[in-house]
Structure 1
């Protein structure tokens, strides 16, 4: 089983996957890890700009599915029948992973209904990559949509996980998802 998460920036996708990984002992790989590894191998400092350049370089050279291909290769050579994948963005990533793993691939869309709530949570993580306002966050969302067709990617989800409440509410929703949906699909 391969589980991945999609959703807008700041919805808790990585938080969800990290929680599942830690609580239930499932290994995780990130497309970002692959990009960072390649940038480091190229002797680049791991800045956002260099990571974007590295992504572009490898996709321009090897095609749009280069990064999910690397993830699939790592998963297939790993010593685990179950894996979590973070960093899914473009529709092509989801399509490639679905083709590679068939019904063993599960996609979860992590959703926060209110942009103000999403923005406040992003501020609380203290990352300098996050937007300076709700307006800027929405502009970022529009850019992601144009570049990655995120709404189409989200529609491909097998499960929608809401993150509108407290952290404890989110933990409970994740536990419910695990015990009522995911556990029976593990190999």
Structure 2
């Protein structure tokens, strides 16, 4: 069994990797989806600010790796190769990297290309102007010594493989296959 974690910048291709691996038989788990469900339970509006606030709240109450531990437990119970999408804090990455069956991929792409991609997703949280996109990204790219806080540079640095998604799907999928081994 292999668990693939995905980190990376906004709109870089985390979902594209997940979709590709699901087609290859992997189960999919998403930190963002977990947080969105919690936001809905609390009756809040789903946006990047509420995701940040609720994610932070869960990590403060239950530990910096709480969500990924919950997702990992589900994956182990189901016993299939799995992908955990949206790893954004060092506490999550460190916890998962201790596991023998885990590999962490990071993905990045040109900023304008990433903004164009999120606009096409039609996700409620991504219907923003370019300035808001840049501001949201700046928040995620700030470093912090707190393992509970979003710190993409630290997660990207910890990744086992750093992928670029500026080209074709075929090129991107080839990078994924090389990183995880053809399964």
TM-score, L = length of structure 2: 0.80
Match of 1:3 in 2: 4
Question: How much has 1:172 moved relative to structure 2?
Answer: 3.5
Q: Deviations over 1:116-163 (max 9, x none)?
A: 222222222233423301x43222221112341211111111112211
Instruction: Give me the whole-angstrom Cα distance separating, in 1, the residues matched to 2:75 and 2:113.
Output: 35
Q: Deviations over 1:61-86 (max 9, x none)?
A: 21222112212221222232x21101
Q: Is the helix fraction higher in 1 or 2?
A: 1
Unaligned runs of 5+ in 1: none
Match of 1:78 in 2: 78
Q: Deviations over 1:2-34 (max 9, x none)?
A: 111111101111121112212x11111112343
User: How many equivalent residue pairs?
Assistant: 173
Unaligned runs of 5+ in 2: 143-148
Match of 1:127 in 2: 123
Specify the SS of the correspondent of 2:125.
coil
68 and 181 in structure 1: CA distance in 2 versus 1, 3 angstrom threshold: closer
176 and 39 in structure 1: CA distance in 2 versus 1, 3 angstrom threshold: closer
- Residue 150 of structure 1 is aligned with which of 149, 152, 156? 152
Q: Deviations over 1:155-184 (max 9, x none)?
A: 11111221112xxx1234214531x34235
TM-score, L = length of structure 1: 0.79
Question: How much has 1:96 moved relative to structure 2?
Answer: 0.7
Please tell me whether the aligned partners of residues 3 and 102 of structure 2 are also in contact (alpha carbons under 8 angstroms): yes
Specify the SS of the correspondent of 1:137.
helix
